[in-house]
Structure 1
Amino acid sequence: MKFAREFREALRRENYPPRWVDSAIPYGQLKKCLKKVQRELAELGLDADTLRQLLAAHALSEHGDSVPLASYELGAGPSRPLRPRLTVFIHLEDGEAVDAALTPTSREFLQKLSSGQVPIHHHHHTDSASTRSSSILSTPTSPLSPTSSASASLASGGHSTDSDESSPDTQAEPAKETERIEVPLTFDCEFFDLLQSDVWLLDALQDEEEAAISKRIASLGEQMGQLTRPAKFHKTDLNRWREVFELYLDAQVFFSTCERDHGARTSAKALEQLVWFQREVNDRGLIQQFKLPASRDAYTRFLNLNSELLRNLKFQELNRVAVAKILKKFDKRTSLGVSGSFPQTISRRFLSESVAKDLCAQVSSQVVSTVPRVDDYTCPVCLSIAYLPVRLKCRHVFCVRCVVKMQRECKQQCPMCRQKVVMQADLRNLDHELARYMDLYFKKETKEKQKSNDLERGIEMFGENYKPDSCLVM
């Protein structure tokens, strides 16, 4: 009852739209339905302990394969209704259930099933003394499963089969068979119908929200493309936005690439990282540095978009926890073990984090990537911008100063792929198109790199005391 109350309070506290709240997992209804399932199983003599024993017990087939004495399958798939099915294999002698794993109550119930007093779906496998090797279940691998000799002993008053067969005065051995019985249950179908229909409803809601957010991301991406377009004769906020997005990527709001905590973040951690990002932007005064009023509006839209993603993430997280809790409670009260199989059977979208991943990837590709990053154009040797860019025959790009140094040292191999292409580079390897792109989008960085190159070249020509001062008119 504690989690049910916390779940309701969390939905109310976050001020989700009424449609979202109506689509949330009906945890309270599922708990009531679970009580009906537990009561139905208890009336059949299949309490949690008995089911745990049956599901754990195995026997060997005639081919030597391990076969469980009981199984519980959900059936169907993500796009079709679930049809749970509890199947039990029992050993019969003259119509009497002899499985040692059964409690007296469950043995009596299964006896009624096998005698036709309860409508069932069953399959018989007769096993006489001469055809015992054709039985579905033979020598058991678990002490809970009856052996052929043990079954015969129970039927004949404790005498072994071998002694009976060796005695000329012994009567014919009772007919033995293994019967596969599908136990008719009602309320487990009701439980999973309710859970599956609500997960489908959440899937539909997620699809709608994903489409709406996707449109907002695309619209913001178009606006960012206009605001960060480089220009010579009018104002641009390209450098300010580059710094904003570098902070955003450093924050790793929704996904971490660090070795210590790599992977998707929880909603609590994502909120913490988003707050850190906003604080860093404010501390550096980047908003006040924007030259265009539209940039401030775009930044507000960007924050609202992240808040909406965080809101969706938290709603999904709450419902995934609710599903996990109710399935864990189902397994605890029935021992049917559906916690592992249900997520793979019911929905690959809601119970996974594919929606959050898709939307975050779209933010990166359509919004953040509108501003080229310096890190994507750095020289692998000096780790500064690769200007002027030299593209070797192996297609790797280095700055011209690093290539000249490698040639002076007679280094033939590319530092990246080890192909012997360095000494083959000449003026034809200068990538003029990439150089123009760098001049356009990285004016500050290319000017600094050019000054650094000029200084280094001057020191080589005039000595360490060289200073790149302006010419003086005497």
Structure 2
Amino acid sequence: MKFAHSFSQVLEEEDFPADWRAAAIRYRELKKCIRRVQSELLDLGLTVEVLKGLVEEAEGPVFKYMFDGTVHSFQPKLVLTFDAVNGIPLDLNLSQDTRRSLENLVKKELGKEEMEAKSLAVKDGTEICGSIRVVEIALNSDSEFFHLLTSEITSLEALQSKSESEIRSHVLQLGQSITAVAAPKPRNSKSDLYPWREIFRIYLESGIFFSNLESESHQERTVEKAAERLTFFTDEVRRLGIQTKFKNPYSPSLFKMFLSVNMDVLRVMRFHDINRTAMTKILKKFDKRTALGACQTFPVFVAPTGPLTSHLSRAICHTLCTSLLNVIPQLDDYLCPICSSISVKPVRLSCSHIFCVRCLVKLQRANKDSCPMCRRNCVLGADAGNLDIGLYNFLKEYFPKEAKIKQAENEREVAVEHWKNIHSESCVIS
């Protein structure tokens, strides 16, 4: 199936809004422009084979294709370099028709009288300086092609910015709503703190839009891979039955909204992905028919990072993490680095590192003064004043189950130590 047909088919079959389809790359129209460019070059005797030879000359390119101006106002042009005295080099492998066409262009640029005067000066032995000249050949059809393509790229980037703004707004609203339904008790009698925490944990581990593996350098997912990871996430939430644990009646609809936001990001990514493919293919077709090398020059001219650069997923993921996923704290961010359990009761050393009180007491009993994290000598100087009351209250509020379990473990450990001490004293007395 030819790309023009498959491209149109995707635009029709996918769930893209009408204004999106209207902004898509007009691939068929651009193909027609290429035919006109090719016809214009042939009228000048510039076939693909001739242009390839002129561009690849050993002593430097005789022809250079370039874009003059800015993205908003530019003129693509073909620049011919030649010797104003000796004319077009005779060693170029040109047909008579092509050479005649190029000579006519040169005469038109310099003027027949100037050419004759220079020729007479050479015959008389007069020294001629700065004889290297250039002729700029304007092609009407290629100007039409690239202005049309640039206009479409501008429309697509504007559409992406609009979509990004809308999705950001939805994420912020969603963050406020989830904060309300997941507020911890006793502020919220139907708190869904734990179900939402589990949902966000699975979401982060799924690495939907970016790989969460350091070995993969946290690289951005392709559209297909992102869709696959999103399916994995929804299946995992369903498998664990997390939605059945909701107590607040608003949580199910908020979860649907959360999935919808991710689907919106995927849809925008897919739309821009197929348009990037269309742009790449049409430029390759342009070069195949003209040998002008637009694949290298045009993307750099439009933007140093390349047109239609994909940044949506990165921007939205940043918003998701800062404005949504962070509204519910995750346990991994509050673990004691020694026992890998929740830091209850949390003791903040003068070096700012935090440990649970039981681990710190053990360090002090072992007469170890170095912080396990930074090796500063500040452990033995810690006392009751180092207890972080604000963090302690926060952990009890947002991690009540984990804090209760850890507190019970601490109490059992203290009781065992107390029993051992009494037993040891009893043995000494007897």
Scaled by the length of structure 1, the TM-score of the pair is: 0.79
> How big is each residue's C-alpha offset from its partner over 1:327-366, in whole Å with a ceiling of 9 and x where there is no partner?
1222222232222343343356961112232122212222
Task: Describe the SS at the equivalent of 1:73.
Answer: strand
Summarize the Cα distance change of 1:417–1:82 in structure 2 as closer, same or farther, 3 Å threshold: farther
Query: Are the equivalent residues in 2 in contact too, given 1:45–1:103 (CA < 8 A)?
Result: no
Moved more, 237-246 or 36-45: 36-45
Aligned-pair CA distance for 1:317: 0.8
Query: Are the equivalent residues in 2 in contact too, given 1:127–1:175 (CA < 8 A)?
Result: no
Task: Describe the SS at the equivalent of 1:232.
Answer: coil
Q: Distance in 1 between matches of 2:140 and 2:242?
A: 63
Aligned to 1:254: 209
**AA partner of residue 201 (structure 2):** E
Query: Are the equivalent residues in 2 in contact too, given 1:385–1:449 (CA < 8 A)?
Result: yes
**AA partner of residue 202 (structure 2):** L
Query: Is 2:225 aligned against 1:269?
Result: yes
Aligned to 1:192: 146
Aligned to 2:426: none
Query: Are the equivalent residues in 1 in contact too, given 2:109–2:135 (CA < 8 A)?
Result: no
Aligned-pair CA distance for 1:457: 3.1
Query: Are the equivalent residues in 1 in contact too, given 2:181–2:190 (CA < 8 A)?
Result: no
> How big is each residue's C-alpha offset from its partner over 1:21-67, in whole Å with a ceiling of 9 and x where there is no partner?
111110111111112112222222333333333333464xxxxxxx6
Q: Distance in 1 between matches of 2:80 and 2:180?
A: 67
**AA partner of residue 16 (structure 2):** Y
Aligned to 1:98: 89
1:407 to 361, 364, 368: 364
Query: Are the equivalent residues in 1 in contact too, given 2:67–2:76 (CA < 8 A)?
Result: yes
Query: Are the equivalent residues in 1 in contact too, given 2:157–2:308 (CA < 8 A)?
Result: no
Task: Describe the SS at the equivalent of 1:87.
Answer: strand
> How big is each residue's C-alpha offset from its partner over 1:357-408, in whole Å with a ceiling of 9 and x where there is no partner?
2122212222211111111112223222222212222222222223233333
Q: Distance in 2 between matches of 1:56 and 1:412?
A: 72
Aligned to 1:242: 197
> How big is each residue's C-alpha offset from its partner over 1:309-335, in whole Å with a ceiling of 9 and x where there is no partner?
111111111111111111122222223
Aligned-pair CA distance for 1:6: 0.7
Query: Is 2:391 aligned against 1:391?
Result: no
Task: Describe the SS at the equivalent of 2:190.
Answer: coil
1:280 to 236, 242, 247: 236
Query: Are the equivalent residues in 2 in contact too, given 1:87–1:181 (CA < 8 A)?
Result: yes
Q: Distance in 2 between matches of 1:404 and 1:340?
A: 65
Scaled by the length of structure 2, the TM-score of the pair is: 0.87
Task: Describe the SS at the equivalent of 1:257.
Answer: coil
Aligned-pair CA distance for 1:286: 0.7
Query: Is 2:111 aligned against 1:110?
Result: no
Query: Are the equivalent residues in 1 in contact too, given 2:65–2:76 (CA < 8 A)?
Result: yes
Aligned to 2:283: 327
Aligned to 1:352: 309
Aligned to 1:133: none
Summarize the Cα distance change of 1:406–1:89 in structure 2 as closer, same or farther, 3 Å threshold: farther
Q: Distance in 1 between matches of 2:212 and 2:55?
A: 41
Moved more, 9-18 or 435-444: 9-18
Give runs of aligned pairs for residues 313-462 of structure 1, distance below 5 A.
313-346=269-302, 351-462=308-419
Aligned to 1:472: none
Aligned-pair CA distance for 1:222: 1.1
Task: Describe the SS at the equivalent of 1:181.
Answer: strand
**AA partner of residue 72 (structure 1):** Y
1:89 to 67, 81, 96: 81
2:167 to 195, 209, 213: 213
Q: Distance in 2 between matches of 1:359 and 1:23?
A: 22
Summarize the Cα distance change of 1:339–1:418 in structure 2 as closer, same or farther, 3 Å threshold: farther
Aligned-pair identity in percent equals 36
Aligned to 1:158: none
> How big is each residue's C-alpha offset from its partner over 1:278-300, in whole Å with a ceiling of 9 and x where there is no partner?
11111111111101110111111
Summarize the Cα distance change of 1:77–1:412 in structure 2 as closer, same or farther, 3 Å threshold: farther
Task: Describe the SS at the equivalent of 2:295.
Answer: coil
Q: Distance in 1 between matches of 2:322 and 2:33?
A: 45
Aligned-pair CA distance for 1:194: 0.7
Aligned to 2:27: 27
Which structure 1 residue ranges, 5 or more long, are not aligned?
Answer: 60-66, 130-154, 156-169, 467-474
Aligned to 2:428: none
Query: Are the equivalent residues in 2 in contact too, given 1:203–1:349 (CA < 8 A)?
Result: no
Aligned-pair CA distance for 1:261: 7.0
Query: Is 2:7 aligned against 1:10?
Result: no
Moved more, 448-457 or 186-195: 448-457
Q: Distance in 2 between matches of 1:16 and 1:457?
A: 63
**AA partner of residue 357 (structure 1):** R
Aligned-pair CA distance for 1:128: 12
Q: More helix per residue: 1 or 2?
A: 2
Q: Distance in 2 between matches of 1:89 and 1:277?
A: 60
Q: Distance in 2 between matches of 1:450 and 1:321?
A: 58
Summarize the Cα distance change of 1:226–1:349 in structure 2 as closer, same or farther, 3 Å threshold: farther
Summarize the Cα distance change of 1:100–1:296 in structure 2 as closer, same or farther, 3 Å threshold: same
Aligned-pair CA distance for 1:227: 0.8
Aligned-pair CA distance for 1:247: 0.7
**AA partner of residue 286 (structure 1):** I
> How big is each residue's C-alpha offset from its partner over 1:207-245, in whole Å with a ceiling of 9 and x where there is no partner?
322222222222111101111111227120001100011
**AA partner of residue 30 (structure 1):** L
CA RMSD in angstroms comes to 3.0
Which structure 2 residue ranges, 5 or more long, are not aligned?
Answer: 424-430
1:225 to 150, 158, 179: 179
